Every structure is written in structure tokens, then in C-alpha cells.
Amino acid sequence: MGFIRNILKSSRSQEDGNFFLQLRKILGFKPKSKSLYIKAFTHRSMNIKDEKGNPINYERLEFVGDAMISAVIAAYLYGQVPHGNEGYLTKMRSKVVSREHLNELGKELGLIELVQSRIPKSNFGNNIHGNLFEALVGAIYLDMGYKTCEKFLYQRVINPHVDIETLEGKVISYKSLLIEWCQKEKNTFDYLVYEDTGNDELKHFSVKLSINDKVVSKARATSKKKAEEKASKRAFFAFQKQITKVI
């Protein structure tokens, strides 16, 4: 551990002297294993390895954090909604731990300001915020244990953001909802996606969504997935009354 600690310590510049001061404000407690938190904010572009050649970055901590967030949220929902069956609880947990929500949490805490990377912060995609949040939670668990990790998630996620009634009305994926409705009502559906040859610098994709062989919505976005979701959202609001009766 001394070897790793020295590498991590030397890899951060003198400008990051207030790293742990900022981190402590976010955590609300003094960390024990500083190397874990430095690792939680080290991007793979730094290309740092330990004495065995293992990479030192936040990606493995993401894995741990993802599991801990799911476990704490699952236990909370189990206690709060005694009438909820497995399917209901799974859907509700998915809404809390969605990539969109985790990204919002990471942004709210300003975690990207602490990351060490050779890539300019402006070049990162939106998911960096959620990735860092997961890595931070993983570091908290490994450093301080389950109870402290649970307390942090209650303070930063559950108490300020988790409301059962609001969650019940929140849609994670309009595409999944629309497909579920179509299948229950035995409606045929088809997403016709094609590359858009517009004048944009970024490649765009367009989609036509048909239900029962009739085009009901169109959309355009920088990825096929985004275009399909956008078209699905438009279709959802066009058929909202019919869908809410069934789902």
C-alpha cells in the first residue's frame, strides 16, 4: 500500500493541496484511507499502475459503488413500500439509480472539479458525473464500511431526492413504456432508423416510429438510442390517455 500511496501522492500536483479539504466538505467526515479517494478521482488517462502492473483509476471503485447504491436503495424501498411486489420495487430502484439521476448527483456535488485527468474536463461526456459519484460511494464503503456508506447515501440521495409518489410518476424510458403498452394491446410497432445526412458537424440519426403501420412520431438526435427515445416520448404524449389506462 505504501508504494501505491506514494505513486498517488506524487501524481497529484501541488495545486491540489486543497483536495481533501474539498472532499471532506462533500463527505461530512474525515477519511481514513486517503489513497482510496485519490483513486476514486483518478481517470484512466493518467495511465498510473501499481507495482504489479494493475491500473490505478476509479473504474473498479465504480463497480463497488454501483452495488452499494443499489443495496441501500433496495433496503430503503423494501421498508418504505411494504405493499410493493418485486417488479414494482425493481422499477422504483431503477428510477433512483438511473444513469441520468446519478449524473445529476455527481454534478450537484461538483465532483468533476476533483478529477485528475490528462483529458480536458470540457471533453468529457455527461456520464463522467455519475461515474465519479459511484466511485466515491465505492471508496466510502471500502474505507468506512456499510453504515457510513448508508448514512452518506441517505444524506445525499434518499432524504433530498427520493419521494415515493414522485418516483411512481417518473418515466425512465419512454421506449420501454411504449413497447410494453404495444405488447399488452397487441399493437405492432416499428422503429425505422436511418443516418441523417444533414450539415451538422456531428453525425445525426433520424427515426420514424410506426404503430400499426402508421407513422406516429419522428425524431432526430446524435445517436440511434437518443433518437428512438425522443420519438417514443413524442408518441407517449400522443397516446398518453390510452397508455395510462393500461400501464
> What was the pLDDT predicted at 17?
58
Q: Which of 66, 143, 150, 228 is catalytic?
A: 66
Structurally, what CATH architecture does the domain formed by 2-168 represent? Orthogonal Bundle (1.10)
pTM of the model: 0.72
Distances (CA, A) of 169 to 34, 83, 92: 40, 17, 10
Catalytic-residue membership of 66: yes
* Ranges of each domain in the chain: 2-168, 174-246
174-246 has which CATH code? Answer: 3.30.160.20
Residue 27 CB neighbours (<10 A) = 21
> What was the pLDDT predicted at 6?
53
Catalytic-residue membership of 86: no
Grid coordinates representing 201? 458537424
> What was the pLDDT predicted at 11?
46
Grid coordinates representing 130? 455519475
- How distant is the alpha carbon of residue 73 from its chain centre? 14
Q: Which of 134, 143, 228, 229 is catalytic?
A: 134
CB-CB contact of 103 with 129 (8 Å): yes
> What was the pLDDT predicted at 245?
82
| Cα 129 from Cα 121, distance rounded (Å) | 11
Per-residue pLDDT of the chain (247 residues; tens, 9 = 90+): 554 455 455 444 434 558 999 999 999 999 999 999 999 999 999 999 989 999 999 999 999 999 999 999 999 999 999 999 998 899 899 889 999 899 999 999 999 999 999 999 889 999 999 999 999 999 999 999 999 999 999 999 999 999 988 888 788 788 988 999 999 999 999 999 988 876 777 788 999 999 999 999 999 998 899 999 999 999 999 999 898 887 7
> Which residues 6+ apart lie within 8 Å of 167 measured at CB?
92, 95, 96
Q: Which amino acid is at 196?
A: D
> What was the pLDDT predicted at 14?
35
